[in-house]
Structure 1
Amino acid sequence: MKSFILILISTFITLTGFSQSTIKGKVLNQDQQPLAYTAISVGKKDSVERYITSKITDSLGLFTIEVPKAGTYIVRATALGYKDKVIEITTGKPGNLVLTRTEHQLSDVSVHAQKPLIQRKADRLVMNIENNPLATGKSSMEAIGLAPGVLVRDGQIMINGMTGTRVMVNGKLLKLSGDDLTNYLTSLRSDEIQSIQIIAHPPAEYDAEGSGGLINIILKKQTELGLYGTVYGNYAQGKYPETSEGTQLNFKKGRLGLFANYSYNWEKGFNKLNQSRTFPSDGIYTAQNRGITKSKNQRVHTGATFDLTDKQYIALDYTGSFSRDHDVFKATTFINYAAHPEINSTSKGLFPSTYNSDYNDVGLNYHITTDTLGSSFEFLSDYTLNHGNSTNEANSSFYNADNQFVSDTTFKNLTPSKAKIFTADAKYKKIFKNGSTFGFGSKVSLTTIHNAAYFSYMDQDNWVSNDPQNFIYNYKENIVAGYLNYSGHVLDMDVQLGLRGENTQLTGTLYDTAGTQKNPKNYFSLFPSLYLVKKLNKEGTNSLSASYNRRLNRPGFSSLNPHISYVDNYTSGRGNPYLTPEFTNSYELSYTLKNKYIFTAAYTDSKDVINNAILPEKDDPEKMMQQPINSGASKIWMFTAFAPFRITKWWMTQNTMQISNQHAIAETFDLQENIAMLQSSQIFQLGNGYTVSASAYYLNKIIFANAVLHHLFNTDLAIQKKFFNNKLTVKLAGNDIFGTSKVKGRFFYNDFRLNFNQLQQKQKITLGLTYNFNLGKAFKAKAIKSSNAEEQNRL
């Protein structure tokens, strides 16, 4: 460890000690007064509108900018209300840029550039949420589902048909999964979000966790000096009402910045599930499940940033998410035998459940910029405490073929869980004069989880403990990781090359009436990544790119917990403490035309795939269970075309077409399907502050675990209007306006077939109000990052 620190220090000194060439200057207005905080862009003399670096002038209009080598450069100055000025400046010879005011001055009018709904970047897709009426009143989980190529189903997020997607917030990997992740993303509302990044193939800098890529949610940043804030509220009406409201406050004075965000949402919905399957002895099982769901979520995010100097700051933040969920399912099950109707039977049951979770996270973030080129060192540390408490109850009555009462049963279980996670992450990134970068870093993650389950049954109006079913499951996991990452220009190509190594030590210990069972594992894996971009024309608007990376998907902590929950008398769900990681290799070739149209061919190959499958119970083939399993391999061939068009000055459309062949291979099932997906988004700028948005997608089918889902189709429509100099925004949105959100499909497992259809509260209309207020001058907020994004995803 000491040698690593010495290497780190010596490398730091070496990389920051190079000699540098600079250009200097000053920006003035036509009255020869300094123009503070003007944007400066610097380019090579023989280049047209291709700048190599940028900077903001200080309060006196002065700037000093490092350049790769001595010589003459093109310098552009840009300031609101002034015409751009471009001059040549030679290193060692300061120059002045004099800006003249535009002919028409704006008075009491704000001009805002409308960001496109979808932006394509080299390694990610960016979906802008702020001021997007389609996101009105949505949770972040619902907003994620708006992104091209992303499907959200039963709390799982899939990118391009791949499961194992992890979620980050401001670059902080949430170590949450299952109900905990769903509750957190439900409490985080779209009104707090600026944009959502979809990173299908993350580079080595990111944790290797997440074979299905990463979703990075970027929250709105404070942008005003003094007091700045937002108050919002949304009311939605489907079959049942939903509300969400919140406030965001930011304050900055001198070097100190403070912020506090609070949100609350209440939801009520319904869930209709119909099932049918074959039953032993040529029986037919059919079930009608009708559920009412209620959810209350609160989220608090508060903290402070302090600028130690102009180049370094420290930040401390706290995030709390508190969820209270209550579901009640009424299930009616029929068992029919065509050859022997006299043994037909019916069961009726009431299956209430509750799930409460308290998530608390405290994070420390230190950042220092080590030179004028932007090289930096960053240290992140987080401590996370998550409490979960689930109760499930089953009250059932059984009837014979003549509908006469036979017997009844009542039982329940309580499954508390407590997770403690500590992470620390150190990163250094060196930026060289020629624009290339070299980064390296390390991370430590320590996790301890305590799970328990207590079962009881009703006997003559008294609850009796069912000790043989009770258990305690403890899980410990330590991960040490390090990475190297280089980005630059080699052989007339832009190259990014990375290598990450992760060593994992874990032990799962199960205590039950059978004794103590330990399941220790220790494994080390390397995760290389490579990105190549070749410009095909002088302007750089046409390019060809290729990428490869290797990633893994560790089991979510809740998936490892062997708890049990009941849907009806013949259907249950439970965890699996014997899951192993899933590994994925991804290859991609992409062609970009005119920096707008993108055509991509991709192939992914996964082994030991973790799927939440439905399968018969080994000891009782009449019953089936939903359980995460390592289900063999998955191979996906995919072609994607992305095409944005501006049809008129006021109508912009962005469209995605995706065609794929997905093949899921396991011992108990072999599924292969050709899949077509179409997505389209429309933005209409109607003037006078009115914006209309529409979004629709269609999937002919998709493989989901060991199921094939058919004909997924959804359309959203929204309109927004701004008032009071854009301070008040009123939005009206319709979700699933054609009522097509019903899902149909079939599960496959050996000779077992389960047909189902499901309808939930997706069709609704939402009215949203957002009011922004501010007092003060503009400043740039510090982005508070975190070290435990991956770990939070797995809670």
Structure 2
Amino acid sequence: MKSITYKIFAFIILTAGGNAVQAQTAPTAPTGKISGSLITDSGKPADFATVTLLRAKDSSVVKSSLSNEAGVYSIERIAAGTYLVKATVVGFDKAVSAPVNVLANATVNVPVLKLVSSSKSLAAVTVTATKPLIERKIDRTVMNVENSVLAAGNSAMEILERAPGVTIDKDDNISLRGKQGVTVMIDGKLTYLSAAQLAALLRSTDGNSIQSIELITNPSAKYDAAGNSGIINIKMKKNRAGGTNGSFAATAGYGQNHKASSSLNLNHKDGKLNLFGNYSYFNNKRPQNLVLNRTINDAGVNTFFRENTSLLGNRNSHNYKIGADYDISKTNTLGVQLSGYNSSFDGLSNNNTIISGNQGNQTGVTTTGNDSREAYNNFAANVNNRMVFDSLGKELSMDVDYSHFWNRQSNNYINNFFQADGNTLRTRSLLRNSLPTKINIGTYKADYANPFGKTMKLEAGMKFSYVATDNDLRTDSLLNGNWVADAGRTNRYKYTENINAGYVNFSKTWKKTSVQAGLRAEQTNSKGDSRDINGLATINERHYLSWFPSVFVNHELSDKHSLGLNYSRRIDRPSYDDLNSFVQILNAYTYQQGNPNLRPQFTNSFELSYTFNKTYNLTLSYSKTTDVMVEIPRQIDEQKVTFITRDNLAEQNSYNANLSLPFKLAKWWSMNNNITGFYLGFKSPGIDNGQYALQGNSINTFILSKTVKLEGTFNYQSPLTYGLFHIGHQYGLDAGISKSFAQKKATLKFSVSDVFNTREQNLNVRQGNLNFNVYQKNETRVARLTLSYNFGNTKIQARRHQSGADSEKSRVKSGN
């Protein structure tokens, strides 16, 4: 891997000088350059102003550019001659320079241009620019959550469930277009959380703080190779307008229990320094009901179990982020960011299991009560530096990240065993367990981009990550009044992982065709060390190098018709906890267990897309995943026990057709429809399961007046098969209305999720000796009232930043 690293470094150094070599070998090309800066009449930089180069003799336009955040601009490759520089920006009169003489191979510094505030009154002018809720781009689908009625008061998880092609199962596994293995990023940063922990974070994130959700089904080599079904990137609100500005939102809701959330975003920019921060609080009391029916056949004798579990959980969470960006120079910005969350969950569950014999006669009853406590804490720090070398976009960005997670789960179980007549069958069983977890993640990454003119671009980069986890599970049983360690359910698990990665990405655009090709390499070194109560160790080490090519081709057949074709290879590594063999108990007959022998899965994906009129899109895709990781139920017939573990099946084949149909039915009514048909097939020795399925959603927006908006969303998923599980259909309707006032700075929103209370989950397994079905109903119908208020100057959006620690965080578990 060292030789690969050295080659990438050498490649970056060589390409950094590419423009200089090109200039020497092409002396006849225009070589002049002008640069300068803009300020307003208040003395502050005029950022993001349009700068136009005009010929002095006739004022014809030659080239144009934008000033950066410091008000600095530059225009290159100018032929010798005399020019004028014109600067314009909304709210200010235009500014024009004196004539400027440009010579070959020379750089001319234009005197500072001052933009004076326009004397014209803009009070009578109203500009309305509303982004569609669903926006289809070349490489991704964007759900513009900001200002949506349905986002008000909902958590990030609840909003994500409404995104096109996204489904979330009873165990909080996220699927995109029917496939699991989604990588979730927040502001371009990998979350490094497992499905359970990610669910905890998303449920504790206030939807009012989200700007948009990006769905990227086939990412390029620039992204981490994790995620066989693609990437979901959640962009949070942030702005960088001059002065002080911000927003505040508060929500109160009620379903079967109370809901409350609030968020505050603040930003201050003065000259070279930009300070920003946000804080959100989320409280959610949420019931859940689960029914499990199973039949166990032991030596021809059937035993029937009907388990009914009710859970009432209360989650409180605090999320925060503070940071600063400082412009060291006109081309160099240094950023620092601190973030974290503190989340707690208190839950009381009661399980009642009725046991019946072959003739249907009741033979026994078992009850299990569980008092659970969970705490999830995270602190993360990021230092980033971005250097821009020219106006064409040549730049180098670097990130150093550190994240620390400390989580704790504890459970207290009381098991009672009764005969059919109600008499005690055997002595009450008391169990308790605790699972403290510590995770440390460190990453470094560097990304370099070098455009060659307007039609070619070379990108290269590297990333190094190191992860260390420590899980210390202890389970005790109460025997004769003393707590005694349960050797079979107690262990300490340590896991370390180092990934070294590098990539090269090249893109070229012709008149009607664009091509992007990339190659990423990731070397993985991991070690799992599991020790039982006696110190006996089971160690699993792995070292492997993987290559991940990607190719994207887009061609415009005409003004209204375009085609796209792409291919990529990706990987999904097991979550840290899935590799630990410890047992998590549900009741006396049901538990969940990790698998230290779980292998990573690899996916090859192909996608063909057609776009009509730059609006309607049809995508056909196929992917094959080898060693696919899925949840597998297993059963020990003689012990009457069923447990869930993750294991590798030989392969998964996925065929997918997605249709995006936005319509403007009237000036006041817009509709966006997204329909996905797919087939998922799973094969392994003794297993050959597959089924055609359909997903769809329709989002309707009604503009009732200039200040009143109504939205409604309908989602449907047909029955489908995933691994051994056959999952029933799901559907639901959400609706909301909003009213803006105080010159549109304030908004009051009322919404109801799952209006008809139809969202529920049904699944069953009929495979080998397994015969059971599960019904789960969560609290889904909730009414919410949200008040939001924006203050200060919010006309310019901030620099967004993507750190290097995002992929590893997505594999950390964080609760229910």
- Listed as ranges, the matches of 1:596-611 within 5 Å are 596-611=615-630
1:325-370 CA distances to partner (integer Å, 9 max, x unpaired)?
12222111111113383x7111111122222111111111110111
Structure 1 segment 52-201 matched on structure 2, within 5 A: 55-57=65-67, 64-66=74-76, 79-80=89-90, 106-107=122-123, 111-153=127-169, 154-201=171-218
The answer as to whether partners of 1:23 and 1:90 remain within 8 angstroms in 2 is no
Q: 443-452 vs 630-639, which deviates more?
A: 630-639
Q: Is the 8 A contact 1:351 1:566 kept in 2?
A: no
Counterpart in the other structure of 1:380? 399
On the 8 A contact 2:455/2:510 being kept in 1, the answer is no
Identity of aligned residues (%): 28
Asked if structure 2 preserves the Cα contact closer than 8 Å seen for 1:681 and 1:693, the reply is: yes
2:680 pairs with 1:700: no
One-letter amino acid matched to 2:613: K
- Equivalent in the alignment of 2:536: 515
Greater Cα offset, 456-465 or 15-24: 15-24
* Distance in 1, Cα, partners of 2:710 & 2:51: 35
| Aligned partners of 1:613 and 1:629 also within 8 Å | yes
Q: Is the 8 A contact 2:489 2:583 kept in 1?
A: no
Q: 1:707 to 1:528 in 2, by over 3 A?
A: same
Equivalent residue number for residue 601 of structure 2: 582
Give the whole-Å Cα distance in 2 for the aligned partners of 1:142 and 1:109: 37
Per-residue deviation at 1:246? 1.9
CA contact (8 A) 1:187 1:321 kept: no
After TM superposition, the structure 1 = structure 2 runs for residues 219-298 of structure 1, keeping only pairs within 5 Å, are 219-280=236-297, 281-298=301-318
Cα 1:442–1:555 change in 2 (3 A) is same
- Name the amino acid aligned to 2:283: W
Mapped to 2, the partners of 1:81 and 1:305 lie a distance apart of 26
Distance apart, 1:56 and its partner CA: 2.4
Deviates more, 1:173-182 or 1:12-21: 12-21
Instruction: Give the structure 2 partner of residue 31 of structure 1.
Output: none
- Write the distance in 2 (CA, Å) between the matches of 1:120 and 1:58: 28
Task: Please give the secondary structure, in 1, of the residue aligned with 2:150.
Answer: helix
Pairs within 5 Å for 1:3-22: 3-4=6-7, 5-15=9-19, 18-19=22-23
Which amino acid is 1:533 matched to? N
Corresponding residue SS for 1:790: helix
2:623 maps to amino acid: T
Correspondence for 1:438 = 458
SS in 2 for 1:647: strand
Aligned partners of 1:164, 1:398: CA distance in 2, in Å? 40
- Taking only aligned residues, the RMSD between alpha carbons, in angstroms, comes to 3.6
Q: 1 CA distance for matches of 2:553 and 2:337?
A: 37
Deviation readout 1:70-90 (Å, 9 max, x if unpaired): 9999x99874369999xxx99
CA contact (8 A) 2:46 2:71 kept: yes
| Structure 1 letter corresponding to 2:762 | K
Kept in 2, the 8 Å contact 1:694–1:718? The answer is yes
Q: Which amino acid aligns with 2:485?
A: S
Report the Cα offset of residue 448 of structure 1.
Answer: 0.9
Amino acid at match of 1:291: L
Equivalent position amino acid for 2:490 in 1: N
Question: Which deviations, in whole Å up to 9, do the C-alpha atoms of 1:2-36 show, x marking residues without a partner?
Answer: 944444323322346643656879999xxxxx995
Alpha-carbon offset, residue 464 of structure 1: 2.1
The one-letter amino acid paired with 1:641 is L
What's the counterpart of residue 675 of structure 1? 693
1:48 matched to which residue of 2? none
| Matches of 2:696 and 2:286, distance apart in 1 | 28
For residues 557 and 649 of structure 1, do their structure 2 counterparts lie closer, same or farther at Cα, with a shift above 3 Å needed?
A: same
Q: CA deviation at 1:288?
A: 1.0
The answer on 1:761 being equivalent to 2:779 is yes
The count of aligned residue pairs is 781
Identify which of 580, 596, 612 aligns with 2:631: 612
Distance 1:517 1:483 in 2: 35
Instruction: Pick one of 511, 524, 528 that aligns with 2:545.
Output: 524
Aligned-partner residue type, residue 145 of structure 1: E
**Match status 1:570 vs 2:589:** yes
Deviation track 1:293-322 (CA, whole Å, cap 9, x = no partner) reads 111111111111111112111111111111
1:631-677 Cα shifts (integer Å, max 9, x gaps): 33211111111111111111111101111121122335432111112
Query: Is the deviation greater in 641-650 or in 668-677?
Result: 668-677
Distance in 1, Cα, partners of 2:591 & 2:62: 59
- What is the alpha-carbon distance in structure 2 between the residues aligned to residue 448 and residue 38 of structure 1? 43
SS in 2 for 1:163: coil
Look up the match of 1:300: 320
User: What's the secondary structure of 1:608's corresponding residue?
Assistant: strand
Alpha-carbon deviation of 1:778?
A: 5.6
* 1:483 corresponds to 2:492: no
**What is the distance in 1 between the residues matched to 2:654 and 2:433?**
40
Secondary structure of residue in 2 paired with 1:739: coil
Greater Cα offset, 64-73 or 224-233: 64-73
Q: Is the 8 A contact 2:79 2:102 kept in 1?
A: no
Tell me if the contact between 1:283 and 1:335 (Cα under 8 Å) persists in the aligned partners. yes
Does the CA-based 8 Å contact 1:375-1:431 persist in structure 2?
A: yes
More displaced 10-residue stretch of structure 1: 234-243 or 151-160: 151-160
Deviates most, 640-649 or 247-256: 247-256
1:750 corresponding residue in structure 2:
768
The one of 664, 671, 689 equivalent to 2:707 is 689
8 A contact 2:70–2:330 mirrored in 1:
no
Is there any run of 5+ residues in structure 2 with no aligned partner, and where? Answer: 24-29, 39-43, 56-60
Q: Give the 3-state SS of the residue equivalent to 1:556 in structure 2.
A: coil
Mean Cα deviation higher: 600-609 or 505-514: 505-514
How far 1:731 sits from its partner (Å)? Answer: 0.9
Does 2:739 correspond to 1:721?
yes
Distance across 2 between alignment mates of 1:163 and 1:269 = 25
Distance (whole Å) between structure 2 residues aligned to residue 610 and residue 71 of structure 1:
65
- What is the CA distance between 1:705 and its match in structure 2? 4.2
Task: Say which SS state the counterpart of residue 719 (structure 2) adopts.
Answer: strand
- Indicate the residue corresponding to 1:595 in structure 2: 614
The 2-side partners of 1:27 and 1:787 are apart by 33
Contact 1:420/1:449 (CA < 8 Å) preserved in 2?
Answer: yes
| Cα distance in 2 between the residues matched to 1:768 and 1:655 | 27
Partner residue in 1 for 2:234: 217
Does structure 2 retain, via aligned residues, the 8 Å contact 1:480–1:502? yes
Cα distance change, pair 68–671 in 1 and its aligned pair in 2 (3 A):
farther
Indicate how the Cα distance of structure 1 residues 125 and 84 shifts in structure 2: closer, same or farther if over 3 A, else same: farther
- Whichever residue aligns with residue 235 of structure 2, its letter is I
Amino acid corresponding to residue 307 of structure 2 in structure 1: A
Q: Is the 8 A contact 2:475 2:486 kept in 1?
A: yes
Q: What displacement does 1:567 show?
A: 2.1
Are the counterparts in 2 of residues 392 and 565 from structure 1 also a CA contact under 8 Å? no
1:387, distance to aligned residue in structure 2 (A):
0.9
Equivalent in the alignment of 2:382? 363
SS in 2 for 1:137: coil
Which runs of no fewer than 5 residues in structure 1 stay unpaired? 29-33, 46-50
SS in 2 for 1:122: coil
Which region of structure 1 is more displaced relative to structure 2, 391-400 or 358-367? 391-400
Q: Which amino acid aligns with 2:223?
A: Y
> Aligned in 2, Cα 1:726/1:376: closer, same or farther, shift over 3 Å?
same
Q: What letter corresponds to residue 107 of structure 1 in structure 2?
A: A
Q: Deviations over 1:705-761 (max 9, x none)?
A: 421211110111011111111111111111000111121121243241211211001
- Measure, in 2, the Cα distance between the counterparts of 1:772 and 1:655: 31
* 1:419 aligned onto 2:439: yes
Alpha-carbon shift at residue 179 of structure 1 (Å): 2.7
Contact map agreement 1:615 1:749 (CA 8 A) in 2 = no
SS at match of 2:462: strand
Which residue among 460, 467, 476 is the counterpart of 1:447?
467
Work out the CA distance in 1 between the residues paired with 2:749 and 2:369.
39
Give, in angstroms, the shift of residue 231 of structure 1.
1.4
2-structure distance, mates of 1:90, 1:793: 54
Q: Is the 8 A contact 1:52 1:435 kept in 2?
A: no
Normalising by structure 2, we get a TM-score of 0.89
